[in-house]
Amino acid sequence: GNSVTQMEGPVTLSEEAFLTINCTYTATGYPSLFWYVQYPGEGLQLLLKATKADDKGSNKGFEATYRKETTSFHLEKGSVQVSDSAVYFCALNYGGATNKLIFGTGTLLAVQP
Amino acid sequence: GAVVSQHPSRVICKSGTSVKIECRSLDFQATTMFWYRQFPKQSLMLMATSNEGSKATYEQGVEKDKFLINHASLTLSTLTVTSAHPEDSSFYICSARGARGTSANTGELFFGEGSRLTVL
């Protein structure tokens, strides 16, 4: 079946450190891949997405590349800020309908000044 | 724009009581809303798809009589957990898709901030 696995948190980094949050997926066909972010007290927001193999999604300094050969969509940022502290969810969409999202468990990122 | 709000954000109730959670699209019309639940350290699981003016579509394994969903207007969907028990304690999240022909119909889902239910 379809599933998403992401690294467990919490991930604690110092400001300006390099961030990687791993995400791998299992899916039939060719899903679209997403990263959502949830800041404290707010709803999930779409951070970036990629719809086909080798696509790179990017936003707010974050990047993730759709790697079909390794079934991965790792989230990276070169220099994190305290304001990046949030929970990050990797997700895939199957069936061609945006409502059928399968999420990972979420990874809490805490950035210390 | 495209803000979705849930209420209440936290609720504690006694076993056997019913609890209603509201999901509102504040500045756009949403013909479709989705309800998810999340257990600690687990993924968000889609429970049901709610369409304005029609019955909700439930995912396999979700009890329709337990989780009543009503989508009576283009800006409001409600989830009622009936006869709640401790195993229903969870984090419930809604999302909404903007109605066709509106500026919010971008294909993106807009999420509420979630409601944490604790059943004693």
Residue in the structure block whose two tokens are 């209603």: B20
Check residues A71 and A43 and name the one with the higher pLDDT: A71
Closest Cα in chain B, distance from residue A41 (Å): 6
Closest CA to A29 of A73, A92, A104, A90: A92
Q: Are A9 and A109 in contact (CB under 8 A)?
A: yes
Q: Is A41 an 8 Å CB contact of chain B? A: yes
What is residue A67's DSSP assignment? B
- B17-30 average pLDDT score: 93
pLDDT band at A2 (very low <50, low <70, confident <90, very high): confident
Residue B97, beta-bridge partner list:
B32, B109
B4 and A43 in contact by Cβ < 8 A?
A: yes
pLDDT band at B119 (very low <50, low <70, confident <90, very high): very high
- B16-20 average pLDDT score: 97
- B98-116 average pLDDT score: 78
Task: Give residue-wise pLDDT tens across range B33-91.
Answer: 999 998 877 778 899 998 888 889 999 999 999 999 998 888 999 999 999 999 999 99
- A23-51 average pLDDT score: 90
Query: What are A41-47's contacts with CB under 8 Å, separation 24+?
Result: A41/B113, A42/B113, A43/B4, A43/B6, A43/B93, A43/B95, A43/B110, A43/B111, A43/B112, A43/B113, A43/B114, A44/A89, A44/B93, A44/B95, A44/B111, A45/B111, A46/B108, A46/B109, A47/A75, A47/A88
Residue in the structure block whose two tokens are 């504040």: B26
pLDDT of residue A95: 59
Q: Does the structure show a pLDDT above 60 at A59?
A: yes
Which of A8, A42, A101 lies nearest to residue B113, judging by beta carbons?
A42
Which of B32, B36, B43 lies nearest to residue A105, judging by beta carbons?
B43
Task: Give residue-wise pLDDT tens across range B6-16.
Answer: 999 999 999 99
Residue in the structure block whose two tokens are 């809604």: B94
Count of residues making up chain A:
113
Whole-number Å distance between alpha carbons of B16 and B83? 4
- Percent of chain B at pLDDT above 70? 92
Burial class (CB in 10 A: 0-12, 13-18, 19+), B117: buried
